[in-house]
Amino acid sequence: MDRVNASTSPASADDPARAAFAALRTPEGGQLLADLRDHDPADELATATRLRRTYPAELVSAALGQARLRQRAVAKFGADDAYRMFFTPDGVEQATRTSVAAHRATRFAGLGVRSVADLCCGIGGDAIALARAGISVLAVDRDPLTVEVARANADVLGLAGLIEVRCADVAEIDTSPYDAVFVDPARRGGRGRVFDPEAYSPPLSWATAAALKAPRAALKIAPGVPHEAIDPEAEAEWISVGGDVKEAVLWYGEGFAPGAFRATLLPSGATLAAPAPLPAPPVGPVGRYLYEPDGAVIRAHLVADIVERCGGRLVDETIAYVTGDEPYSSPYVSGYEITDRLPFNMKKLKALLRERQVGVLTVKKRGSAVEPEELRRRMKLSGPNSATVFLTRVAGAPTMLVGHPLG
């Protein structure tokens, strides 16, 4: 029987990978990584040839690979941390970005949580955020290399006193001594991203059972999880960063609201919540203004809340565009003034844009199969002005709405 958080890496690769990582932790490896901080990946072959005159070939290969991972990790961890930390390819891909991990740690700390069992810790992104919030962490992963990387990250960031890293199967961990449990199941397998929550490693059902045993818990899941797969005992939160939805979290225990849905926008921290699923909002004609809800609001099924707040309506019962007759400002939406409404017709749109001397066109779409780049190419844009076109459906009919951002 497979262990619930079994590594997807082949066992035969463990020893060479761990040996290469150990070499990077030596003074010689550290110096080599420092020298590679600003190297250009396009010049990697020439760089490797030059470095192999001074360093062992295996160390150069390992350092170049780690340098690439660090450059990728800057987007999630920031340059200051990323260029000190260590990564694995899966670790960079699956790690929580710092802003999201910090938000989650702040929610735990605000409820008085002082210790967390971090199950399936990966390279330690969440453990780091929890420790920086003053929370002691037991970080657990079954993969030996991943554990060594997580331990090294705690060390280089000065958090080893708050983070204990343990190589073990999460099913064998007694979480009863801890104030809270955090589970981040692996959502990638040998064939890529996993969409079925029961195909996570560990499965969502196992993670839910672990959460229900703890005083408080958080389960990190994919933001596209079907709402019917969400445990009614959990508070479900969708988190976006700069408008992009990054993940969903299921919260359990005292201080959280079972059955509630929440959308949180980072970096502002604005959060919108409803105690239960909202009724379907009204649908009506396109008004002077159009509002595009943040993706977290849409995922959390809170568009009806926006409709109520702005006194508007949907343009179509299946489309998450809100329209209204009065200007409305909110962190949860991007607002536009609509100047033109056209049935879907490329020639008419092209003529309109030529008349308006539009040289820069932003294309947004919901409910349309047209690719934005293809549309821009066909428009043959020229002129000093800019515009935004929405490709969508209005009352079921393919429609083009042209306008510009408010403010």
pLDDT at 379: 94
- Reported as type and span, the H/E element at residue 354 is helix 346-355
Q: How many CB atoms lie within 10 A of CB 174?
A: 8
Q: Tokens for 283?
A: 């649908």
When pLDDT is averaged across residues 204-220 and rounded to a whole number, the result is 95
Q: Which band of pLDDT confidence, cut at 50, 70 and 90, is reported for residue 87? A: very high
Cis peptide before 10 (omega within 30 of 0): no
Indicate the SS3 state at residue 254.
coil
pLDDT at 368 over 70: yes
pLDDT at 33: 95
Between 11-15, 193-197, 267-271, 387-391, the lowest mean confidence (pLDDT) is in 11-15
Kindly report, residue by residue over 265-280, the tens digit of the pLDDT: 999 999 999 998 788 9
What is the average pLDDT value for the chain, to the nearest integer? 92
Q: Which band of pLDDT confidence, cut at 50, 70 and 90, is reported for residue 325? A: very high
pLDDT at 229: 87
When pLDDT is averaged across residues 74-87 and rounded to a whole number, the result is 96
When pLDDT is averaged across residues 339-361 and rounded to a whole number, the result is 95
Q: How far apart are CA 157 and CA 177, in angstroms?
A: 26
If 0-12 CB within 10 Å is exposed, 13-18 middle and 19+ buried, where does residue 245 land?
buried
Q: What percent of the chain has pLDDT over 90?
A: 84
Q: Which of 310, 354, 371 is nearest to 336 (CA)?
A: 310
pTM of the complete model? 0.89
Kindly report, residue by residue over 159-201, the tens digit of the pLDDT: 999 999 999 999 999 999 999 999 998 776 656 677 778 878 8
Q: Which band of pLDDT confidence, cut at 50, 70 and 90, is reported for residue 397? A: very high
